[in-house]
A and B are shown apart, each in its own frame.
Chain A
Amino acid sequence: MAERGGRGSGGHGSLDKSITLPPDEIFRNLENAKRFAIDIGGSLTKLAYYSTVQHKVARVRSFDHSGKDIENEPLYEISVQEEITARLHFIKFENTYIETCLDFIKDHLVNTETKVIKATGGGAYKFKDLIEKKLGLKVDKEDVMTCLIKGCNFVLRNIPHEVFAYQKDSDTEFRFQTNHPNIFPYLLVNIGSGVSMVKVETEDKFEWIGGSSIGGGTFWGLGALLTKTKKFDELLQLASKGQHTNVDMLVKDVYGGACHTLGLSGNLIASSFGKSTTADKEFSKEDMAKSLLHMISNDIGQLACLYAKLHSLDKIYFGGFFIRGHPVTMRTISYSINYFSKGEVQALFLRHEGYLGAIGAFLKGAEQDNPNQYSWGENYAGSSGLMSTSPDVYPLQRTRSGTFDMLEMDRLERPLVNLPLLKDPSTYIPDTVDLTDDAMARKYWLTCFEEALDGVAKRAAASQPDSVDALERAEKFRQKYWNKLQTLRQQPFAYGTLTVRSLLDTREHCLNEFNFPDPYSKVKQKENGIALKCFQSVIESLDSLGWEERQFALVKGLLAGNVFDWGAKAVSDVLESEPQFGFEEAKSKLQERPWLEDSYSQWLERLKEGPPHKCALIFADNSGIDIILGVFPFVRELLSRGTEVILACNSGPALNDVTYSESLIVTERIAAMDPIIQSALREEKLLLVQTGSSSPCLDLSRLDKGLAVLVRERKTDLVIIEGMGRAIHTNYQAALKCESLKLAVIKNSWLAERLGGKIFSVIFKYEVPCK
């Protein structure tokens, strides 16, 4: 007796059998899925599972060169191997789809080890039998609040830009917050059908301090009665079009103006629905829905504020999928909190508010794997962005993601921590320009990435000439990234603050998604080989210079090396057309001194007058000429001065950036030619480490723990950051506790102009922390 089109809000007697979307794009990686958890709320189901993803990685391995003619051999071997990594999948859909979804999962679930599914949420009781019957798994119920808090702590720790404040009438309505190292204590206001206020003090210590029955269910229930509109999102829609002043009695309606004796502004609501106290007037649905939304949001804000004050908490997070990124709700709640607390308490919203319970239930089930010991990263390729629920505004995304919403998180192989040398980790922001804020820059960069996309897809396909489906995959990659860019054009805040870094990272995630782990591996191999051959002559010519001349030549070499960047379109065009473009050509491209940012004299002074640095940490950029002819001679000079060097390279590939495994081979080969490097390696004065990142940019708050430990042990007192991605797009303004050197060549004329220079302008920023 299935009701046609009866996607009713309430009873699950009318389940929708027709999924209009390809479910294999939603429930991905089911073959190896295990540890299922489900959170069934009043209207939405959130499913979580852990799975492994097999994807290709490029590995490099040094040849055994003994007794061979190495002149005509490539430097090292590249092999593509299958690697298995862990990934968390979270999917959110309407309860009406639950049966179809369970059927799909059952049909595709291969792994038979799974016996139990963790369940939480009010609906877990209702759907228990259905789940047990469909999946053949035992339903194991978990406490709702415990799950919620666990989930909340997890997202606060692991998802950058999870938290945002909402600012009315500002260019950037969404103010994303940096992850604070200490998240406790906080007040979690969970708005489900009712409202719960939970004070969270530590990972395991939390207390229910109050609640209110006026919540999402009130909005929905009362809204349905008043407007005859059945769906929650439609009610929100109505509300966004209404005028609450037609229904609400304002202070000025009572007093004929602002009430000075009470100190109240005339526009405050004196009485919600105060104007509807008559039987003979009709009110529009929109106005009533708006008034209702105001009433409930204000009330929640007021109570939250009273509880926060009583318990001396200054951060309030809102969870529970009532808000759904809806501007009216966030504006009203923020206004209310600000008004009632006189600005002392901050209302903070979460990008993944709807997933907290499911994440928590999953974590409960996965305790034996100890998921909290790992670091996790949001996979931009597999996750839906923060959506406005308004279909009018975003019809394009609505069709796809409005019904199904996904979050995927990759388990990182190594835990990530702050660089111990950050001056203030709680205020550190890696990115230089916030593209959500800066509309002009946003337009430029989105266009820039769009224009470069065809080239990237082409290179990806070309990097795997032996693969039959490389072209097809490259096209899929192109399509996926293109769609992401279009989403970001309309909703720049979809994945947190939009930055050049997030655009680059999203591209890497999309490339990996379609099994292009390292499109530049061959380019890097070739360039490393060529550069190695020039190493000795470069060293000889440097050694022939006087001290002061040599210091300048070293810096110039470092800068010229940095020109070789396949990520910059201006450069990759040259490199594609003039394969013989070399080190000397690059040097001639560089801007003459004085540079755009030029503290070279201070640097020279420091080298001349000051004692040698104890230990320098260098973040390397490109492979080939950059690392071999730019960075290594510089490293060699530092070593000769008695400074130890930690050379940090990316853990995974990104563009033509040198990876840790490549750096090992390159260093070994240089050591064979150069006694200074050799002895430094042997005596552990030159140390190679990985950054934990696979990004062309650098987030100093998420670095490999091993690196951080070493930095502390060696008492590092100089940090050198090289390249546009690491020193300009990110960290340009980063304040460190020790001396730092940020250098890059601007290989983009728009950016150069913006900074007041021309293409190939030089940034040489030497900073000493003030005492």
Chain B
Amino acid sequence: FPWFGLDIGGTLVKLVYFEPKDITAEEEEEEVENLKSIRKYLTSNVAYGATGIRDVHPYPPSSRDSAGSEGIFLALIRNPSDPCVLLEYSPFLPFFPPQIGDLQLCKLDELDCLIKGVLYIDSVGFNGHSECYYFENPTDAERCQKLPFNLENPYPLLLVNIGSGVSILAVYSKDNYKRVTGTSLGGGTFFGLCCLLTGCSTFEEALEMASQGDSTKVDKLVRDIYGGDYERFGLPGWAVASSFGNMMSKEKRESVSKEDLAKATLITITNNIGSIARMCALNE
């Protein structure tokens, strides 16, 4: 049983811990002392150290691991991502002391794990309802609806993994996939630019600000240039012509709020990811 899954990304470290329910007293006896203390540490806390937190919505109340044992997944995320810092840093320190011989780091292929993970969390065995969703009428705020999407026959699919940067994978079957492309404009860019532009310090803070801002004060829209729609190319007036384009003007720079800037950053990055993903889907 590997009970821990650890993913060290560019910005965040993600840890999943499997808490078996059906563990027998005998099995519990076999555990080494360290493991017991780790388990106790993980299950009795929701915050770890300065920035580690436990996912407030625990993964499905009851799941089975790959061996069929029933248990609970606990997901943790934490900052910062530098693995060296991480290893020296409480509270993960007890996980990897080199003297513990029976606890090994088993390195797995990143993309394999990614695809397995996507398929797993959407599987019925996970929590019984669909993890995948989409928005209907995304351009119409009134009619926009979040709807589940059935992943029963998923292939071929394009997997856009947005971490600090973005990787785009074309998946043809469970084990036939390739990395199509990627972009450096990802979560790290959003967060990095927000820190510089607004002085925020957490990702959540950046997202919160973005949700309150108005990006049209920051961006130059098609109608700002053409006075309306640009009919010849079928571009609606509300489309963004130039991200941050209004910020060329001094007066406008002085009149925008931090929230507006955060929102514009989010819109810029997400539009760009959407655009690249769409082109990849068409090309593949």
Contacts of A262 on B, CB cut-off 8 Å?
A: 110-111, 167, 179
Contacts of B245 on A, CB cut-off 8 Å?
A: 42, 193-194, 213, 217-218, 220-221
A299 interface residue, CB < 8 Å from B? yes
Check if B164 sits within 8 Å of A194, measured CB to CB: no
Contacts of B244 on A, CB cut-off 8 Å?
A: 217-218, 220-222, 225
Contacts of B111 on A, CB cut-off 8 Å?
A: 261-262
Check if B240 sits within 8 Å of A213, measured CB to CB: yes
Check if A230 sits within 8 Å of B250, measured CB to CB: yes
Q: Report the separation of the CA atoms of residues A283 and B183 in the bound assembly, to the nearest whole angstrom.
A: 23
Check if B9 sits within 8 Å of A221, measured CB to CB: no
Check if A274 sits within 8 Å of B250, measured CB to CB: no
Contacts of A193 on B, CB cut-off 8 Å?
A: 220, 225, 241-242, 245, 248
- From B56-64, B142-150, B196-204, the one touching the partner chain is B196-204
- From A8-16, A74-82, A106-114, A607-615, the one touching the partner chain is A8-16
Q: Report the separation of the CA atoms of residues A48 and B83 in the bound assembly, to the nearest whole angstrom.
A: 60
Check if B185 sits within 8 Å of A272, measured CB to CB: yes
Interface centre among B244, B272, B283, by most A CB within 10 Å?
B244
Check if A271 sits within 8 Å of B181, measured CB to CB: no
In the complex, chain A residues 99-154 whose Cβ is within 8 Å of any chain B Cβ: 122, 125, 143, 145-146
Check if A254 sits within 8 Å of B10, measured CB to CB: yes
A273 interface residue, CB < 8 Å from B? yes
Nearest B residue (CB) for A292: B193
Q: Report the separation of the CA atoms of residues A25 and B251 in the bound assembly, to the nearest whole angstrom.
A: 35
Check if B242 sits within 8 Å of A271, measured CB to CB: no
B253 interface residue, CB < 8 Å from A? yes
B188 interface residue, CB < 8 Å from A? yes
Q: Report the separation of the CA atoms of residues A290 and B272 in the bound assembly, to the nearest whole angstrom.
A: 20
Q: Report the separation of the CA atoms of residues A714 and B73 in the bound assembly, to the nearest whole angstrom.
A: 89
B271 interface residue, CB < 8 Å from A? yes
CB distance from A267 to the nearest CB of B (A): 12
Check if A279 sits within 8 Å of B195, measured CB to CB: yes
Check if A254 sits within 8 Å of B226, measured CB to CB: no
A275 is contacted by which of B181, B182, B192, B241 (Cβ under 8 Å)? B192
Interface centre among B187, B227, B261, B268, by most A CB within 10 Å?
B268
- From B35-43, B133-141, B152-160, B274-282, the one touching the partner chain is B274-282
Interface centre among A42, A280, A307, by most B CB within 10 Å?
A42
In the complex, chain A residues 231-278 whose Cβ is within 8 Å of any chain B Cβ: 247-249, 253-254, 256, 261-264, 268-278
Q: Report the separation of the CA atoms of residues A226 and B193 in the bound assembly, to the nearest whole angstrom.
A: 9
Number of A-B contacts (CB under 8 A): 206
Check if B195 sits within 8 Å of A217, measured CB to CB: no
Q: Report the separation of the CA atoms of residues A427 and B164 in the bound assembly, to the nearest whole angstrom.
A: 46
Nearest B residue (CB) for A8: B250
In the complex, chain A residues 46-102 whose Cβ is within 8 Å of any chain B Cβ: none
A295 interface residue, CB < 8 Å from B? yes
Contacts of B257 on A, CB cut-off 8 Å?
A: none
A224 is contacted by which of B192, B203, B240, B253 (Cβ under 8 Å)? B253
CB distance from A39 to the nearest CB of B (A): 13
B116 interface residue, CB < 8 Å from A? no
Contacts of B167 on A, CB cut-off 8 Å?
A: 262
Check if B276 sits within 8 Å of A10, measured CB to CB: no
CB distance from A232 to the nearest CB of B (A): 8
B127 interface residue, CB < 8 Å from A? no
Check if A279 sits within 8 Å of B200, measured CB to CB: yes
Check if B192 sits within 8 Å of A216, measured CB to CB: no
A271/B243 contact (C-beta < 8 A), A253-B10, A299-B185, A310-B279 known: no
Q: Report the separation of the CA atoms of residues A675 and B179 in the bound assembly, to the nearest whole angstrom.
A: 80
CB distance from A457 to the nearest CB of B (A): 47
A313 interface residue, CB < 8 Å from B? no
CB distance from B57 to the nearest CB of A (A): 24
CB distance from A757 to the nearest CB of B (A): 56
Number of interface residues of A (CB under 8 A): 67
Interface centre among A210, A273, A278, A280, by most B CB within 10 Å?
A273
Q: Report the separation of the CA atoms of residues A279 and B195 in the bound assembly, to the nearest whole angstrom.
A: 6
Q: Kindly supply a per-residue 1/0 record for chain B positions 251-274, scoring 1 wherever the CB is within 8 Å of any chain A CB and 0 otherwise.
A: 111000000010000001001100
Check if A270 sits within 8 Å of B251, measured CB to CB: no
Number of interface residues of B (CB under 8 A): 66
A221/B241 contact (C-beta < 8 A), A273-B188, A273-B189 known: no
Q: Kindly supply a per-residue 1/0 record for chain B positions 158-186, scoring 1 wherever the CB is within 8 Å of any chain A CB and 0 otherwise.
A: 00000111010000000000010111111
CB distance from A121 to the nearest CB of B (A): 9
CB distance from B175 to the nearest CB of A (A): 14
Q: Report the separation of the CA atoms of residues A9 and B252 in the bound assembly, to the nearest whole angstrom.
A: 11
A9/B185 contact (C-beta < 8 A), A262-B111, A274-B164, A278-B195 known: no
Q: Report the separation of the CA atoms of residues A8 and B261 in the bound assembly, to the nearest whole angstrom.
A: 21
Check if B248 sits within 8 Å of A295, measured CB to CB: no
A271/B233 contact (C-beta < 8 A), A214-B272, A279-B201 known: no
Nearest B residue (CB) for A207: B233
A439 interface residue, CB < 8 Å from B? no
In the complex, chain B residues 70-95 whose Cβ is within 8 Å of any chain A Cβ: 81, 83
Interface centre among B193, B241, B242, by most A CB within 10 Å?
B242
Contacts of A275 on B, CB cut-off 8 Å?
A: 192
Q: Report the separation of the CA atoms of residues A367 and B182 in the bound assembly, to the nearest whole angstrom.
A: 46
Check if B282 sits within 8 Å of A217, measured CB to CB: no
B11 interface residue, CB < 8 Å from A? yes
CB distance from B151 to the nearest CB of A (A): 24
A43 interface residue, CB < 8 Å from B? yes
Nearest B residue (CB) for A256: B83
Interface centre among A42, A256, A274, by most B CB within 10 Å?
A274
Contacts of B81 on A, CB cut-off 8 Å?
A: 254
Q: Report the separation of the CA atoms of residues A212 and B189 in the bound assembly, to the nearest whole angstrom.
A: 17
A249/B225 contact (C-beta < 8 A), A10-B249, A215-B242 known: no
Contacts of A436 on B, CB cut-off 8 Å?
A: none
Check if A212 sits within 8 Å of B188, measured CB to CB: no
Q: Report the separation of the CA atoms of residues A217 and B252 in the bound assembly, to the nearest whole angstrom.
A: 13
Contacts of A295 on B, CB cut-off 8 Å?
A: 184-185, 189
B27 interface residue, CB < 8 Å from A? no
Nearest A residue (CB) for B247: A221
CB distance from B56 to the nearest CB of A (A): 22
Q: Report the separation of the CA atoms of residues A272 and B11 in the bound assembly, to the nearest whole angstrom.
A: 12
Q: Report the separation of the CA atoms of residues A211 and B11 in the bound assembly, to the nearest whole angstrom.
A: 30
CB distance from B1 to the nearest CB of A (A): 25
Contacts of A562 on B, CB cut-off 8 Å?
A: none
Nearest B residue (CB) for A123: B225
Check if B248 sits within 8 Å of A221, measured CB to CB: yes
Interface centre among B10, B83, B110, B239, by most A CB within 10 Å?
B10
Check if A277 sits within 8 Å of B219, measured CB to CB: no
Check if B232 sits within 8 Å of A143, measured CB to CB: yes
B109 interface residue, CB < 8 Å from A? yes
B69 interface residue, CB < 8 Å from A? no
Contacts of A226 on B, CB cut-off 8 Å?
A: 196-197
Check if B188 sits within 8 Å of A249, measured CB to CB: yes
Check if B10 sits within 8 Å of A274, measured CB to CB: yes
Q: Write 28 A-B pairs (CB below 8 A) sorted by A numbering.
A: A145-B233, A194-B243, A194-B245, A210-B275, A213-B245, A215-B242, A217-B244, A217-B248, A218-B242, A218-B245, A218-B268, A221-B244, A221-B248, A221-B253, A222-B243, A222-B244, A222-B247, A224-B253, A225-B247, A249-B165, A254-B164, A269-B165, A269-B184, A271-B165, A272-B186, A279-B195, A303-B275, A306-B280
Other A-B pairs beyond A143-B232, A275-B192, 11, CB < 8 Å: A122-B225, A210-B275, A212-B275, A213-B271, A217-B245, A218-B244, A222-B193, A226-B196, A271-B186, A274-B164, A299-B185
Q: Which residues of A contact B (CB under 8 A)?
A: 8-11, 42-43, 122, 125, 143, 145-146, 192-194, 196, 208, 210-218, 220-222, 224-226, 230, 247-249, 253-254, 256, 261-264, 268-280, 283, 288, 295, 298-299, 302-303, 306-307, 309-310, 340
Q: Which residues of B contact A (CB under 8 A)?
A: 9-11, 81, 83, 109-111, 163-165, 167, 179, 181-189, 191-193, 195-197, 199-201, 203, 218-220, 225-227, 232-233, 235, 239-253, 261, 268, 271-272, 275-276, 279-280, 282-283
Q: Give the 4 A-B CB pairs with smallest separation, nearest first.
A: A10-B249, A221-B247, A273-B192, A271-B188
